[in-house]
A and B are shown apart, each in its own frame.
Chain A
């Protein structure tokens, strides 16, 4: 047998041996790497065709909209597109130039054109983002301009409203004359531009976003920690119970997935409100007086409780799947080697659950950071998260650029955390199931 193999082996080693260039070649002299690529090309093409529908789906429904949204956070041509003459004047004259007759003439021309095209509202809205309270200035000026504006334009426009002479307004209009702006990002971190165009803190009563970001991240951390505290023992129980009973318990864990999110959240309202079940029981037990009913909902406590409950399965499932693979003989070995049950848990069992814990924590945290419905329903005013603000800008103020900027910052924050996690723990240590 060995003898029969020998000549064959000799050919292979001869042909595949390194040539002068040092590359391996196949029997017919082609480089080995090329041959390998060729031989696996067909399989790779098939695999690519199989994932192509999903790839297209993700591209169309996910990547493109997100890209457009991100673009919207830096681009808003509501002013520049509808006020072309004034925008041109801003481009020709550097910052600090007093508005001259040409500027007022351009303004008057643009106001008439915009009023005629019924886009004056869009222009006003755009300026209103950076300087609240100016939308009506544009709409009323547009109404008046429709009947014609006679020169001298400066006097005519100032007669409509003295506010047109405000240097701050001209500074804001100059900012808006370019379709691309960083103002939405500045606003998202409570900054604004003064008349000279320098970046300064926003007025104190308008500083809401930084605080909201901090609160969002802090509450998400608390919720993640709570799900860990509650989920770890349950996952351990699931992993160690006999199959039949652990399946039953697993159904209980998954039950929340089968009921509507709204139903679950409103159930918490029933339980936690001041005249709710929990307070009633506490009063009945005499723990608190009837006039001391606890405020457990419509504030941060409510947000934490309801979101911990809703996100718990996302912590339990990865933990469970990792714990199930940990052989009980590890802990037994540790015990036989002289470790107390606490030491065996701390040094042997717990470190082996880290991949599941990391996955669960990352999952819960990322979901919590972007959570919207639950804080909107049970959060009151102190339990609102940044996503509620994004939703408000999307649906009420219609400032989509602002919503996009806030969302982009949130995304960036999560990506940074993801990167930190990768550096500290390693993404390849992640086990989702």
Chain B
């Protein structure tokens, strides 16, 4: 087995990690993941996909059934949580209710045996960092959700951990505050240069904050990539469907040449697509196209591309964009988004149009 070299590229390593709670099913199936120093990595996935279990194994609250977890080159499988030096922000903040904000922040420093003056200066610095300096003597119950969130963040950072884990830390906040805190956490990460492992089921949150995203499903990482790659080039139908809005057209591979595929849909129409995880002609496939990459004006479509007939079912006005639901190739859940510019063509329900796209935007993936 290869030991990872301590260095920028392998700060946290999951090496063939498996986890089972009942000895019958695997919650985490053969996880291999390397997280670099200073990276902001998000574990994204639906509930029950194994992402929180992975985080808990990293924090030391769950033990790996098989495999090795390394932190900074050292195997930490048998290191108890309090010796790992990992800061953690919990979903419900877990601020100690019987202590003031100052005492909450002082706790990790006291158990490390720091002197009072050292503690005071660190607490002041951490509170200033999250702009909560004047709340030192309040109790957590006297703070709003967003303020508690900041204190939880300050407490996880006050002892200068090498690694900070966040378990859906913004789940309990309202939308506006959540977006604001996303920005603040990201800014703190950039400023302090810490490594962050972030767990969420909110794909928007993952896209805005992360350097890389690991999409979990069924105990496996489905794709590990930077946000733009994940969104624009999903590697399988699950990722395509889970991240952002997606149109899935079912069909059969008619022709395959390198990565260019010709797909015949259920009603006999032909479309162009890029083959991703398709091996041979005649195979069933699901073609994935993002709604905003669908065009209905001939001048915007690439020359010679196949087009499809579409019936407008309804059009929803969303302010910055318009969202049209179309009936395409027998499926009436096809969505097209187009910008609400001055003089934009008006589509009305019942109208028939022709739609098309660049072949790179249509990705032929595994059948659903």
Contacts and interface: CB of A to CB of B under 8 A. Distances in A.
A136 interface: no
A335 B81 contact: yes
A39 interface: no
B180 interface: no
Contacts of A339: 82, 107-108, 111
Interface string B153-195: 0011001000001000000000000000000000000000000
Contacts of A252: none
Interface residues of A, number: 19
A347 B107 contact: yes
Interface stretch (B85-93, B116-124, B263-271, B328-336): B85-93
A343 B111 contact: yes
Contact of B81 (A329, A336, A343, A351): A336
A250 interface: no
B94 A338 contact: no
Interface string A346-357: 011001100000
A338 B111 contact: yes
B7 interface: no
A327 interface: yes
Contacts of A352: 97-98
Contacts of B96: 330, 333-334, 348
Interface of A is mostly: helix
B110 to A, nearest CB: 9
Nearest to A331: B94
Interface in A300-347: 327, 329-330, 332-341, 343-344, 347
B127 interface: no
Interface string B104-117: 00011001100000
B59 interface: yes
B21 interface: no
A338 B61 contact: no
A327 B94 contact: yes
Contacts of B84: 336
A344 B60 CA distance: 15
Nearest to B59: A336
B107 A334 contact: yes
B10 to A, nearest CB: 22
Given A329-B92, A330-B96, A351-B98, A336 B87 contact: yes
Contacts of B155: 337
Given A337-B108, A338-B82, A329 B94 contact: yes
Nearest to B56: A332
Contact of B90 (A333, A344, A347): A333
Given A337-B155, A337-B159, A351-B98, A332 B61 contact: yes
Most A-side CB within 10 Å, residue of B81, B85, B92: B81
Contacts of A341: 82
Nearest to A340: B82
Interface in B56-102: 59-61, 80-88, 90-92, 94, 96-98
Contacts of A351: 98
Contact of A338 (B92, B112, B165): B112
B108 A338 contact: yes
A336 B112 CA distance: 12
Given A327-B94, A339-B111, A347-B107, A333 B82 contact: no
Given A338-B111, A338-B159, A339-B111, A333 B81 contact: no
Nearest to B86: A336
Interface string A25-36: 000000000000
A30 B300 CA distance: 71
A239 to B, nearest CB: 17
Contacts of A344: 82
A333 B95 CA distance: 8
A381 to B, nearest CB: 46
Contacts of A334: 96, 107
Contacts of A343: 111
A235 B326 CA distance: 60
A354 to B, nearest CB: 8
A330 B94 CA distance: 5
Contacts of B80: 335
A245 to B, nearest CB: 15
B56 to A, nearest CB: 9
A344 B94 CA distance: 13
A333 B82 CA distance: 10
A375 to B, nearest CB: 38
A333 B111 contact: no
A335 B156 CA distance: 12
**Highest count of chain A CB atoms <10 Å: which of B60, B82, B85, B156:** B82
Contact of B94 (A333, A340, A347): A333
Contacts of A327: 92, 94
Nearest to A333: B94
A337 B84 CA distance: 9
Contacts of A330: 94, 96
B54 to A, nearest CB: 15
A332 B90 contact: yes
A332 B94 contact: yes
Contact of B82 (A329, A336, A347, A348): A336
A66 B76 CA distance: 67
Given A329-B90, A329-B92, A332-B61, A337 B98 contact: no
Contacts of B90: 329, 332-333
A329 B61 CA distance: 10
A344 B81 CA distance: 12
Nearest to A337: B108
A331 to B, nearest CB: 9
Contacts of B94: 327, 329-330, 332-333
A332 B93 CA distance: 11
A299 to B, nearest CB: 42
Nearest to B112: A338
A327 B59 CA distance: 17
Contacts of A335: 60-61, 80-82
A352 B141 CA distance: 14
A337 B111 contact: yes
A416 to B, nearest CB: 27
Question: Which of A329, A336, A339 has the most chain B CB atoms closer than 10 A to its own CB?
Answer: A336
| Residue from A329, A333, A337 whose CB has the most chain B CB atoms within 10 Å | A337
A336 B97 CA distance: 17
A327 B90 CA distance: 11
Interface of A: 327, 329-330, 332-341, 343-344, 347-348, 351-352
28 contacts: A327-B92, A329-B90, A329-B91, A329-B94, A330-B94, A332-B61, A332-B81, A332-B90, A332-B94, A333-B90, A333-B94, A334-B96, A334-B107, A335-B60, A335-B82, A336-B81, A336-B88, A337-B88, A337-B108, A337-B155, A337-B156, A337-B159, A339-B108, A339-B111, A341-B82, A347-B107, A348-B96, A352-B97
Interface of B: 59-61, 80-88, 90-92, 94, 96-98, 107-108, 111-112, 155-156, 159, 165
- Top 3 A-B residue pairs of the complex, sorted by shortest distance between their CB atoms: A337-B108, A333-B94, A336-B88
